[in-house]
Amino acid sequence: MIYFLKLKTAILLRKIVAPVILLGLISAANVQGANVIVISATLTDSMGRSVHAHTYLTILDQPPAITLSEAKSCPDGTMVRVEELVASTSSSHFAGLFYAQNIDRTSGIGILWYQAIDCGDKIAVFGGITTRDGERFIQAEDVEVDL
């Protein structure tokens, strides 16, 4: 799948606003279960100067959701996705950490995460299982808050 992108915008460069045209090519492929997105772009300013750049993004498929008790029984390093959790502390209580539990409060776990989470938020978390001082955690790569 290939997508073409053409944008006309303005950028601030050394306090001068110059119109810029961005011509880009975005392509996507599926390689061994991962989506690879290639972004190529050429920036051209109003004086005709241009620069070309490209980058690659890899979007990994997440595993199917499992229960919190199943996640806690996985070996360290296992990537898990757990849904239907409720944050039982906010991320402001502990640096880089909050706690979450099942909606029915039968099980809980620490979530290592540095972005804002409020107590009571309904969440889904994706990350790797880890153990610190005998306590199980999920080292989150993604936390979705159900708004």
pLDDT at 72: 95
Question: Cα torsion at 38, 55, 142, 77 (round to 10°)?
Answer: 100
Question: Cα torsion at 117, 141, 131, 103 (round to 10°)?
Answer: 50
For 86-108, what is each residue's pLDDT tens digit? 999 877 778 789 999 999 999 99
Q: Which CATH architecture has domain 68-145?
A: Beta Barrel (2.40)
pLDDT at 2: 40
What distance in Å separates the CA atoms of residue 55 and residue 41, rounded to the nearest whole number?
A: 9
With a threshold of 0.85, does the pTM exceed it? no
Instruction: Choose between 84 and 2: higher pLDDT.
Output: 84
Nearest to 108 by CA among 123, 93, 87: 87
For 56-70, what is each residue's pLDDT tens digit? 666 666 788 999 999
Q: Do strands 50-60 and 79-87 pair parallel, antiparallel, or not at all (unpaired)?
A: unpaired
Residue 78 pLDDT > 80: yes
